[in-house]
Amino acid sequence: MWSDEFNSGNGSAPDRAKWVIETGGNGWGNNELEYYTNRVQNVQIQDGNLVITARREGYSDNEGVFRGYTSARLKTEKKFQQTYGRFEARIQIPRGQGIWPAFWLLGDDAGHTGWPAEGEIDIMENIGKEPAMVHGTIHGPGYSGARELAHHFLCLTVRPSPTHSICTRSSGSQM
């Protein structure tokens, strides 16, 4: 079982044995306006929490890429794989136009097969202009944000619990 309780000291970086901190300002396929850094101003452990901070500031790398915002982007690629089971995170999200916090899963062949063939499950995405709505999406071969899910068999299960959490499950013979 993989977990991270973020119990290293305040101001420390996330555990490099568990996390990859991506850096760059190339837009990441979504025309994102921020530059992702590994600086403590953008990502650090604080009181047992992983804190990712978006900042309005001019930032340029040594290749001349300039962005007016900075933030951090973390993933577990090549650090953790799990096909089935429970994926859980306790997340406090920010509010504001242009913010798009997300918790998502990618197939273990990410970067090799190409999106969306590698598969992606967006467990939670919150678009800043919709502060009261959470989106969950499934992407894969033949179905993604660019194509509809019609004509695929989906079996969806939602299981509310007494702790106010909602579990969802999706499976299908033609997905």
Active site positions, annotated: 120, 125
Q: Residue 9 gets which letter from DSSP?
A: P
User: 105 forms bridges with which residues in the sheet?
Assistant: 121
Strands in the chain per DSSP E? 20-22, 34-36, 43-46, 49-52, 55-60, 66-71, 73-75, 102-106, 120-125, 135-139, 155-160, 166-171
* 151 CB-near residues (< 8 Å, 6+ apart): none
User: How crowded is residue 123: how many other Cβ atoms within 10 Å of its Cβ?
Assistant: 17
Six-digit token pair at 143? Answer: 């179905």
